């Protein structure tokens, strides 16, 4: 069973090709669709066997619950999943489940706005002199732009960018943003900013981080539903005010 994950560099996997290779080898393909949701990408149409979501993120969308979902079109797999769920009791309590369902009602609208905001912010960051590298699947400069256009409807809400100055520059940016919230989460209504080298991946050896493309100045931005001009102004003042020790 092969599981696909998006690391902070937003590197994409060709789901249809991977599904074909997995099935030729007699394996199942599991796709983590948390970052795009069914509103922006439909892995079953690309021949995935199982799709999983952290509903904590965009599906619920408001940083209010913890939950997950595991889905399949195969009756035999569904029966196995249902047995484990029943035997272990891995279900949400009623109120978090209700909050999750409330989030699902606005999923399509929210993902559209997340994506529109992210595209505007990405274009700003791409032109900023302190940003040495910008990765966003909705931009033609993205290395896998054609693949993104083929298997997802928009670029999504996540942006990865490199700040000139390494770790100190990344930490300085975290300390100077005012509207963007500093958090290791993603997928909320508010914009969340993360510096992987000092936060989510701080315990990963530097050589392994570098091998995965997680450089010292890499910043991950989960663009929220605020006015994109407010987000741009916040990032502009934070990038402009950074003081990197020599």
H or E element that contains 77: helix 75-88
pTM of structure: 0.90
Residue 243, pLDDT > 90, answer: no
Mean pLDDT of the chain: 91
Instruction: Tell the burial category of 238 from Cβ atoms under 10 Å away from its Cβ (0-12, 13-18, 19+).
Output: buried
Residue 246, pLDDT > 80, answer: no
H or E element that contains 71: strand 69-72
Average pLDDT of the segment spanning 80-96:
93
Q: What is the pLDDT of residue 240?
A: 85
User: How far out from the chain centre does Cα 57 lie?
Assistant: 9
Token pair listed for 191: 């914009």
pLDDT tier for residue 237 given thresholds of 50, 70 and 90: very high
């Amino acid at each position: 069973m092969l599981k696909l994950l998006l690391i902070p560099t937003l590197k994409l996997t060709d789901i249809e090709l991977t599904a074909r290779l997995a099935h030729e080898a007699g394996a199942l393909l599991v796709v983590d669709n948390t970052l795009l949701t069914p509103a922006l990408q439909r892995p079953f149409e690309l021949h995935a066997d199982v799709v999983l979501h952290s509903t904590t993120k965009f599906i619920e969308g408001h940083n209010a619950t913890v939950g997950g979902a595991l889905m399949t079109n195969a009756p035999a797999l569904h029966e196995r999943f249902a047995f484990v769920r029943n035997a272990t009791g891995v279900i949400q309590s009623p109120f978090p489940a209700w909050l999750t369902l409330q989030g699902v009602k606005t999923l399509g609208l929210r993902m559209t706005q997340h994506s529109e905001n992210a595209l505007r912010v990405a274009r700003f960051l791409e032109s900023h002199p302190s940003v040495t590298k910008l990765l966003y699947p909705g931009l033609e400069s993205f290395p896998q732009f054609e693949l993104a256009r083929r298997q997802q409807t928009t670029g999504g809400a996540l942006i990865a960018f490199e700040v000139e100055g390494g770790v100190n520059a990344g930490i300085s940016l975290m300390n100077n943003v005012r509207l963007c919230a500093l958090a290791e989460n993603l997928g909320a209504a508010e914009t969340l900013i993360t510096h992987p080298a000092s936060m989510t991946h701080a315990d990963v050896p530097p050589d392994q981080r570098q091998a995965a493309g997680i450089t010292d100045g890499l910043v991950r931005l989960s663009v929220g539903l605020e006015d994109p001009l407010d987000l741009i102004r916040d990032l502009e003042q934070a990038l402009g005010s950074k003081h990197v020790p020599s």
